[in-house]
Amino acid sequence: MSQDSAFPIRAAWSPVRRLWWLRPWSPNPLLRPSDRIEAVLRLVVALAVVVAIPIAGASGTAAYTGAAARIRAEDAAKFAVSAVITDKPERTPSHLPEARVRWTHEGRPDTATVRVPNHAAPGDHLTVWLGPDGTPTAAPRRPGAAALTGIAVGAVVLNGTWVVAYLLTQGAVWLLEQRHEVGWSRQWRQFNSPIEEDPQ
């Protein structure tokens, strides 16, 4: 192997070797106590980042299971009826069209004001979902809604843990650097202080 081809390997290994030299239990006498503290902190943060992955997965799975059960329970009590628009649709303050509709369920007629499509007109038929009390309610949610809930919860837990770990690490490193600068300044002042002459 030529020297040129070996250079990338050495360059790739240099960060790993540097981390090994900066390990907290290193016998290197040049390592300051603050360097060892920083190394321990980075190890703890790295462990927390790794542990956060299965925790986020478990949280997302639990959220998905709960959301799926809740959606099934809510949708089980809903039923659809065919309704007819009786009045001209009107725009609500939020610019959504609503209209009065009429339907018959189990021989009993009923009416309500519900959301209608933008192109709706009196006489059009549409499906209205009713709750257990017979009043209009939201249509059943799609099966993927529970999966999206689980993914969102897992992502929030994982990203939140990583962000907190990063901020804690950066804050601790900043404090250690400030401590180093204070120590260097103190030593520099001592080095530059005038040496008292011995009395003759």
Could you state, in order of their start, the residue ranges of all structural domains in the chain? Answer: 21-72+144-178, 79-130
| Whether the Cβ atoms of residue 94 and residue 188 lie closer than 8 Å to each other | no
Residue 16 has pLDDT above 80, yes or no: no
Separation CA 156–CA 197 (nearest Å): 67
Q: Report whether CATH 2.60.40 matches the domain 79-130.
A: no
The amino acid at residue 24 is P
Residue 193 has pLDDT above 70, yes or no: no
pLDDT at 11: 47
By percentage, how much of the chain surpasses pLDDT 70? 72
Banded pLDDT at 194 (limits 50, 70, 90): low
| Overall pTM > 0.75 | no
- pLDDT digit string (tens) for 54-108? 999 999 999 999 999 988 888 888 999 999 999 999 988 888 899 999 999 888 9
Per-residue pLDDT, averaged over 32-36, amounts to 65
pLDDT at 141: 83
| Whether the Cβ atoms of residue 49 and residue 161 lie closer than 8 Å to each other | yes
Residue 126 has pLDDT above 80, yes or no: yes
Residue, of 22 and 153, whose pLDDT is higher: 153
**Nearest alpha-carbon partner for 114 in 141, 92, 93, 132:** 92
- pLDDT digit string (tens) for 132-167? 888 899 888 887 888 999 999 999 999 998 888 888
Q: Name residues whose C-beta falls within 8 Å of residue 98's C-beta, 6 or more positions apart in sequence.
A: 89, 90, 91, 92, 113, 114, 115, 116
Quote the mean pLDDT of the chain: 79
Mapped onto helix, strand or coil, the DSSP state of residue 107 is coil
